[in-house]
């Protein structure tokens, strides 16, 4: 190749010189086609892997922390209030006029009163039909039931079916109506309310012993359900009250004592006098006569210590079905004749560890205490468990400010999903024996009640890593050791909480995990 060049030399002309360019080297491609294919495949696999991982992550989050749906609708007895009239001076007309006022004051769902049929002076039935004239006339009761339906209030009545009064017309003219035993003096059966009193009483006129398992001043006598006429009369009377007055529920005291061993064998554990197979059949017959949406209450079936799941299922039903449709139970363990001898913390501990709680059996929570401060704390605590509270209009003298706080719990909290479909965690703080009950549900605020059921001041801390440092003060009954604390809007959970006897506070907070659930 000829190349023209100019040599910068002094006094020289432009010169043409012979010069050869070096042969250019071939330029190699930066990426080979095979390598590109491998890179694309790897990238695609990584992308697919990331997509699958993201999808799995979303599924796990949805499974563990599902987007909350609204809680299912529950029947009124799941979270209700019953106003009970236990006195013998109730008048149908008076109650009809005051029904709306009672509903406003107690925020109640039902009223519950004594038997409407005639009773003896000792409150034992004289029969199972007819209206007690001291309460009013039949038309007065009909007007009451109509007014109650207009106000969306249910009516429940006591319906004792184990015995009648010896003053009843049946006693002298229907010997086979009752349980008699000529050898009653050899039987060791005792009354239910006094284990030292024989359940048999001698009648000179008949030269025999009659059975009365409930010692009511020697006024009661047990009826003989093994007599078909007795059984038919009872079922007929249930049908009569249900058809004519459409009551919404019946309390059946003494149901588990309806039948007894017909040979009157000596007994030590009540196996001859309680929970016989015939008792369950009687329950089924009664249930068949009334609407399945109506409730049956039992004053006492068994203690909290029972582990007999079969017994509970027979009376109250199970998760799949409800034998007889029985919905509620009221246990004598929860009736407080003397609060100074009963530590309610232990009582709630027994319930929380009982078969009743594990089987999700519903309760009517009732109190016979005359201590209004204790009653308020008791009912407020009961409202954190599932079931209905029964406030006695005569016995539980709750003040207006106490009723206002209970109404706040009933109207502002129990309608929320966390109280209808949430989890319950009950704890007794070891340092103070303060009782705490926590309600939690995904997608809802968490609530906790802290109660002092001791007779002295108690203080403690709520130590739990799952809870926030601060919670909103929702409600309290102004029983702080430091009176100025009753007005605070929030509370530091790391700080000590001091409560006077029967003092309680209710706090609430939004769980931290809520922020994650909103992503999905």
Give DSSP secondary structure letters for 154-201: EEEEE---SEEETTSHHHHH-GGGB-EETTGGG---EETTEEEEESEE
Does residue 343 lie in a domain region? no
Burial track 317-349 (b if 16+ CB lie within 10 A, e otherwise): beeeebebbbbbbbbebbbbeebeebebbebbb
Does residue 50 lie in a domain region? yes
Q: Is the pLDDT of residue 439 over 90?
A: yes
φ, ψ (nearest 5 deg) of residue 442: -60, 130
Is the separation of the CB atoms in 295 and 77 below 8 Å?
yes
Does residue 404 lie in a domain region? no
pLDDT tier, 327 (very low <50, low <70, confident <90, very high otherwise): very low
Least trusted range by pLDDT, from 231-235, 383-387, 415-419, 514-518: 514-518
Q: What does the alpha-carbon distance between residue 307 and residue 292 come to, in Å, rounded to a whole number?
A: 27
What is the total residue count of the chain? 520
Q: Is the pLDDT of residue 61 over 80?
A: no
Burial class (CB in 10 A: 0-12, 13-18, 19+), 448: buried
Structural domains of the chain, count: 1
Q: Is the pLDDT of residue 183 over 60?
A: yes
Does residue 432 lie in a domain region? no
Residue with tokens 């449709």: 325
φ, ψ (nearest 5 deg) of residue 344: -65, -25
| 163 Cβ neighbours under 8 A, 6+ residues apart | 124, 125, 212, 213, 214, 216, 220, 221, 222, 223, 254
The pLDDT tens digits for 380-411 are 999 998 888 888 887 667 888 999 999 999 88
Q: Is the pLDDT of residue 141 over 90?
A: yes
Is the separation of the CB atoms in 197 and 190 below 8 Å?
yes
Residue with tokens 């006598």: 221
The pLDDT tens digits for 38-60 are 778 888 888 888 888 888 887 77
Q: What does the alpha-carbon distance between residue 301 and residue 483 come to, in Å, rounded to a whole number?
A: 43
Handedness of CA 38, 40, 45, 49 (dihedral sign): positive
Does residue 60 lie in a domain region? yes
Does residue 61 lie in a domain region? yes
Q: What does the alpha-carbon distance between residue 255 and residue 301 come to, in Å, rounded to a whole number?
A: 8
Q: Cα dihedral angle (286, 289, 290, 291), rounded to 10 degrees?
A: 120
The pLDDT tens digits for 265-288 are 888 777 889 889 999 889 888 888
Is the separation of the CB atoms in 504 and 380 below 8 Å?
yes
Q: What does the alpha-carbon distance between residue 353 and residue 299 come to, in Å, rounded to a whole number?
A: 21
Beta 504-509 vs 446-451: how paired, if at all? antiparallel
Mean pLDDT, the chain, rounded, equals 81
Percent of the chain with pLDDT over 70: 81
Does residue 267 lie in a domain region? no
Does residue 62 lie in a domain region? yes
Average pLDDT over residues 27-47: 73
pTM for this predicted structure: 0.79
Residue 440: CB atoms within 10 Å: 16
Q: What does the alpha-carbon distance between residue 213 and residue 258 come to, in Å, rounded to a whole number?
A: 10
Q: What does the alpha-carbon distance between residue 451 and residue 453 come to, in Å, rounded to a whole number?
A: 6
User: Where in the sequence is the domain holding 54, given as residue range(s)?
Assistant: 36-66
């Amino acid at each position: 190749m000829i190349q023209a060049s100019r040599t910068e030399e002094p006094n020289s002309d432009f010169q043409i010189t012979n010069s050869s360019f070096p042969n250019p080297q071939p330029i190699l491609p930066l990426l080979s086609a095979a390598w590109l294919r491998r890179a694309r495949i790897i990238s695609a696999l990584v992308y697919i892997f990331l997509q699958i991982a993201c999808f799995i992550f979303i599924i796990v989050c949805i499974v563990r922390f599902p987007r909350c749906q609204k809680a299912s609708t529950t029947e009124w007895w799941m979270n209700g209030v019953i106003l009970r009239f236990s006195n013998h001076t109730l008048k149908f007309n008076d109650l009809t006029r005051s029904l709306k006022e009672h509903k406003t004051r107690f925020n109640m769902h039902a009223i519950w009163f004594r038997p409407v049929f005639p009773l003896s002076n000792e409150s034992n039935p004289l029969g199972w039909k007819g209206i007690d004239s001291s309460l009013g006339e039949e038309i007065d009761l009909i007007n009451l039931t109509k007014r109650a339906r207009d106000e969306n209030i249910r009516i429940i009545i006591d319906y004792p079916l184990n015995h009648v009064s010896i003053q009843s017309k049946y006693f002298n003219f229907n010997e086979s109506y009752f349980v008699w035993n000529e050898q009653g003096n050899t039987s060791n059966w005792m009354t239910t309310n006094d284990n030292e009193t024989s359940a048999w009483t001698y009648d000179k006129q008949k030269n025999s012993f009659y059975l009365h398992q409930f010692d009511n001043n020697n006024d009661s006598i047990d009826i003989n359900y093994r007599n078909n006429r007795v059984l038919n009369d009872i079922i007929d009377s249930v049908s009569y009250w249900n058809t004519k007055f459409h009551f919404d529920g019946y309390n059946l005291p003494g149901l588990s004592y309806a039948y007894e061993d017909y040979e009157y064998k000596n007994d030590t554990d009540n196996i001859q006098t309680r929970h016989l197979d015939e008792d369950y059949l009687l329950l089924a017959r009664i249930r068949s006569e009334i609407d399945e949406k109506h409730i049956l209450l039992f004053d006492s079936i068994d203690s909290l210590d029972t582990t007999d799941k079969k017994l509970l299922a027979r009376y109250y039903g199970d998760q799949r079905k409800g034998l007889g449709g029985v919905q509620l139970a009221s246990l004598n363990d929860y009736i407080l004749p003397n609060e100074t001898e009963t530590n309610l913390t232990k009582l709630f501990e027994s319930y929380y560890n009982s078969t009743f709680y594990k089987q999700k059996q519903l309760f009517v929570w009732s109190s016979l205490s005359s201590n209004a401060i204790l009653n308020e704390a008791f009912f407020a605590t009961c409202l954190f468990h599932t079931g209905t509270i029964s406030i006695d209009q005569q016995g539980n003298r709750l003040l207006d400010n106490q009723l206002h706080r209970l109404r706040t719990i009933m109207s502002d909290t129990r309608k929320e999903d966390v109280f209808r479909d949430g989890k319950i965690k009950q704890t007794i703080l070891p340092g103070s024996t303060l009782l705490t009950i926590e309600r939690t549900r995904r997608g809802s605020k968490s609530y906790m009640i802290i109660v002092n059921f001791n007779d002295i001041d108690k203080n403690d801390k709520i130590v739990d890593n799952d809870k926030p440092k601060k919670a909103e003060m929702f409600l309290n009954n102004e029983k702080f050791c430091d009176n100025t604390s009753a007005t605070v809007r929030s509370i530091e959970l790391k700080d000590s909480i001091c409560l006077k006897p029967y003092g309680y506070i209710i706090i609430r907070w939004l769980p931290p995990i809520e922020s994650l659930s909103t992503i999905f």
